[in-house]
Amino acid sequence: MKQWYFDLPEFRPEVGCAFQFYGGPSPEKQFLHLCVVTEIVFGRKITYSWRYDGYSGISYVTFELFAEGDNTKVVLTHSGLESFPADVPELAKHNFEEGWGYIVNKALPGFVELG
């Protein structure tokens, strides 16, 4: 995952696994992300909670894999964004769309194509 997502040394694909990482729009503005794996369907689905240290709100990220012939379709769902504080511009929905768009459309395919 560190090659296409974030460097997550504590991450294990096990329910209850807590992991954290820093990320943000610039080196000066970083947020501590606090996550816990909540669901695993081996080889098909992973869901984890996503919240920010010092801020209200909690959301959930789900990656699902679907066989489509010789290919695999990846579906990413990030629910609960509306629970984050509306007065923190960095936590606005469009920032998540931009970030996930990069990860799913550029970073992950680049990693898969190298493999």
Q: Is beta strand 45-52 parallel, antiparallel or unpaired with respect to 18-26?
A: unpaired
Domains observed in the chain: 18-114 (3.30.530.20)
pLDDT computed for residue 30 by the predictor: 93
Instruction: For 77-110, write each residue's pLDDT tens digit.
Output: 999 999 999 999 999 999 999 999 999 988 888 8
At residue 113, does pLDDT exceed 90?
Answer: no
pTM of the predicted protein model: 0.90
What is the dihedral angle through the alpha carbons of 51, 53, 55, 61, rounded to the nearest 10 degrees? -10
